[in-house]
Each structure stands twice: as structure tokens, then as C-alpha cells.
Structure 1
Amino acid sequence: MRIERVADAASDAVADYAALTDVALRTATEAERGLYIAESAKVITRAIAAGHRPRSVLLEEKWLPGLVPVLEPFDIPVHLADARQLEATTGYRVHRGALAAFERPQLPDVGALLAEARRVVVLEDIVDHTNVGAIFRSVAALGADAVLVTPRCADPLYRRSVRVSMGTVFQVPWTRVGEWADTATRLTERGFTTAALALADDAVPLRTLAADPPERLALVFGAEGDGLSRQALRAADLVVTIPMAHGVDSLNVAAAAAVVLYALGEPV
């Protein structure tokens, strides 16, 4: 751990933290550069505990003592900056005062991930990073084994996803999958029943599924507004719905995932 004070908020030394509010830019470049950003001392600590390797840290000095024990083993720069410099670099007021750039871990093979799983959550094209992070937190808390993320789904390791997940994205096994034809085949080959959460005339109420869930179950949640694609619905073995009252047709996707996982309980 090498302490370095930031002299210029625009210097190359802190380039990993530049323009963090530019979602399109960060989404396009972080994976390409092999990094992700963790925000807050708690999330940084959880990432390191999960075996992720930091490449640098940027923080206000008051946050340093709490992070020294977890950062000392690493030969990395720890950039100290004041609140004004942090805002100038990142583009926003960093209320939690500590950021770290981590090496992006290699994602597991889909087949290897499914081999040991009994209950998985599939996120199809969910573009809101907050919802993705909230679903990962529910998965960690309520008993699913893994998450599969489609090609156009938001990045679970984007800063906002990580923060909303409270770092649980580091403990939940997950990976990217291909298009539905391949994903459906992989799930079927592993003995999964695929349940799509959607509105349909022939949908099974959640209570019915929860009363006798399959031994291996893949729960598919779709994008905000548009819902699941036709390909996802065709690939599903059944459609499941959460009954609603007072004319409400559906829940936010993160809330729906929490309800479904709670109703099903931990895999048996």
C-alpha cells in the first residue's frame, strides 16, 4: 500500500475514476479495460473478502484508518483527495468518501455454474442498474444459488449495481449467457424447469408453484416496462404470476424477485 496525495484531479494517476456519472461511457469502457469500481468502505471490504484484487484506491483521508487492515497486503497506490478533488475527478459528490478500482474477475463457465445449482435467477435485458443490484441482494438473502445475465442486461459490476447490492454481487455466483436458444438448451440439459414471471391467461399463481416447486428451477425476470421477450416466454416450461389487488397489474422487477424468492423459500 503506497499513500499518494492527489495534486491534480485530472491526472492519469486517477483516470480510472474519471467521469463516473457518465453511464454510457463507463458501461462501454469498464469491461473493456478489465476493471470495475466499488464505492464505500463496506463494499470495498466485501470485494477484497471475496478474493477480488484492487488496483488502486481513491478516498478522503478520514476513511483511510478503517481500510488500512484490508489494503495493507496490496502493493497499490492509495490516492488521498479532499472532497473537492473527489468531485472534480468523479463528476459527483462522493458522500461515502471511498472508491476503489478492482480487477474485473473472469466469469465462470455457464455449464460449471449450473452443475451445482438447484435454483437460479435469469435476468433478461434488465437495463436499470439499481434493479439489478437489488435483485442480487435478494438472491443472496433469500436462497437462490446463481444468476444468469443475458447479453443486453445491465452490468452487475457497474458501480451503482454494486452499491445497491451492498456488495452481495461478490458472493452470488453469476455469469453472462448467450441468446435464448442456447440458454434454454443448457437449462433443459441440466434438468431445470424454467418459470417465466409474466402476465398471461394461462399463468400459474405463485402460491401454486411454491406449494410444490421443482427440484431444479430457473426463474426468469424481464425488463422494466417491456417485460419478457417472446423468445423467453417460448422457452419457458410455465408462466408464473404474482396475484395483484386493487387493479395493480405488476410490481417493480426487483420487488417481484424478492417476493418470488421469499415465497419459494430456500432450495431443498
Structure 2
Amino acid sequence: MKDRKLLSIELGRLSPEEYRSSPESGIVVVLDNIRSAHNVGSAFRTADAFHADRLILCGITAFPPSAEIHKSALGAEDSVRWEHCPDSLSAVTRLRAEGYTVVAVEQTTASVKLDAFRRDPAARYALVFGNEVDGVSQAVVDAADFSLEIPQYGTKHSLNVSVALGVILWHFRPQDGYDNLAGTADWHKRCPNQKPSIDKG
């Protein structure tokens, strides 16, 4: 057999404790008044997949504990640190003061196209994703260091916030990979005494 699906035990998954104790990625995700708890759960799951340091849930954005968040997060709300902030603008103002480069993921008159952007490996970024109807608030766009836009080529020019989050976080991944952050690459190092069952047929 040329190829086969990996077993769950072969994926090198971190425990929530290992995730939280591993080195930071330099990425914080800010959710600006997200209406859907399902989208919040998906944001947790995607943030976990790309090793974001924390989620800042602003305004009306739902926060744990929540059965609806848990349903789509699949437990990622236990690995990704989070906090609730009543106001998005105060959150990004604080993050800028902490040394983060604040990026509004939004279509604006001066937005940078994602395929033209390269992450500064020395920088820390706060990525702001907006409401399903209105997007990132203009006040937050004004407070951001710059806006970043995902190029789109169809009729809608609109992505679900959790889809946009996945596209952006993949682009912001460390260019040398995540092995130095999480140590997930080599399954044999993590499970030296366990061998996967391989179907020879």
C-alpha cells in the first residue's frame, strides 16, 4: 500500500498542558463582536491547530463555558488561553502598548493583499477578525497598524470568519515550521514504545 491514513496516536497531539507550556508563537487572535458561538468554537479549534497564544473575545462575542462553543471547538477551549474584553478598541490599544503589531483582517482602501505580505519573524502580531455582518469596526481599523486582505475572485468577496481565520493563521505560521514551538513532528520520540498497525493489504 503506497499510502494510508495516519492513526490518531500517530498525529503527535499535545495535551492541553503541553500546549500551554510550549513556547509562544507570537500570535494573538482578537474576535471583534462575533455573533455566532459556533464561529467562536471554530476559532478556538483553528487557533489550536496553528498554535496561537490566546484568543481575546470582545464585546458580544460568546465565551466559555458554552455548550455551543464546545461543540465546534472539540475541547480546544481547554488548550488555547482566552480572555473576554468588553470593548474591542480597548483590547487592541492595550495590545499595541504591549508591543504587538495590530493587524485588522479587513478589506479597506489601503489594505495589504495577503499574498504580498511576509511576516516579520521578530514581531508579535494581534490579528483582528470582525463581525459576520459589519466586519472589523472602523474604530479598530483606525487603531490598527495596518489592514490585511485575503484576495478573492468570486462574486461574494466574503468569507466566514472561521475560514478567514484558517487562511490567515496558516500564512502567519513560522517559516521554519512549528517543531521548535511544539515538538510535534516526530511521533516516535513521543511514543517510542508504540507501533502503529499497518495494513499490508
Q: Same fold (TM over 0.5)?
A: yes
Q: Does 1:255 align with 2:163?
A: yes
**1: CA distance between counterparts of 2:115 and 2:65?**
33
Total equivalences in the alignment: 156
Deviation at residue 212 of structure 1 after TM alignment? 3.8
What SS does the aligned partner of 1:187 have? helix
Alignment check: 8 A CA contact 1:203 1:241 kept: yes
Q: Which residue of 1 aligns with 2:56?
A: 148
**2: CA distance between counterparts of 1:209 and 1:156?**
33
Evaluate the alpha carbon distance shift between residue 260 and residue 117 of structure 1 in structure 2; reply closer, same or farther with a 3 A threshold.
Answer: closer
Q: Which residue of 1 aligns with 2:123?
A: 215
Deviation at residue 181 of structure 1 after TM alignment? 4.3
1:69-88 correspondence runs (5 A)? none
- 2:147 corresponds, among 228, 235, 239, to 239
> What is the one-letter code of the residue matched to 2:61?
C
Two-structure CA RMSD over aligned residues (Å): 2.2
1:174-213 correspondence runs (5 A)? 174-212=82-120
Q: Which residue of 1 aligns with 2:79?
A: 171
Deviation at residue 252 of structure 1 after TM alignment? 0.6
Q: Does 1:158 align with 2:69?
A: no
Identity score, percent? 33
For structure 2, which runs of at least 5 residues remain unmatched after alignment? 1-14, 18-23, 182-201
1:29-40 correspondence runs (5 A)? none
What SS does the aligned partner of 2:56 have? strand
Alignment check: 8 A CA contact 1:213 1:264 kept: no
> What is the one-letter code of the residue matched to 1:242?
I
Evaluate the alpha carbon distance shift between residue 222 and residue 156 of structure 1 in structure 2; reply closer, same or farther with a 3 A threshold.
Answer: farther
**2: CA distance between counterparts of 1:171 and 1:203?**
32
**2: CA distance between counterparts of 1:153 and 1:252?**
15
Higher relative contact order (CA 8 A, sep 6+): 2
**2: CA distance between counterparts of 1:151 and 1:186?**
15
Q: Which has the larger radius of gyration?
A: 1
What SS does the aligned partner of 1:155 have? coil
**2: CA distance between counterparts of 1:214 and 1:125?**
29
Evaluate the alpha carbon distance shift between residue 201 and residue 178 of structure 1 in structure 2; reply closer, same or farther with a 3 A threshold.
Answer: same
Alignment check: 8 A CA contact 1:162 1:169 kept: yes
Alignment check: 8 A CA contact 2:32 2:128 kept: yes
**2: CA distance between counterparts of 1:181 and 1:204?**
21
Q: Which residue of 1 aligns with 2:41?
A: 133
Q: Deviations over 1:49-84 (max 9, x none)?
A: 869xxxxxxxxxxxxxxxxxxxxxxxxxxxxxxxxx
**1: CA distance between counterparts of 2:118 and 2:139?**
25
For structure 1, which runs of at least 5 residues remain unmatched after alignment? 1-48, 52-115
What SS does the aligned partner of 1:227 have? coil
Higher share of residues assigned helix: 1
TM-score by length of structure 2 reads 0.70
What SS does the aligned partner of 2:42 have? helix
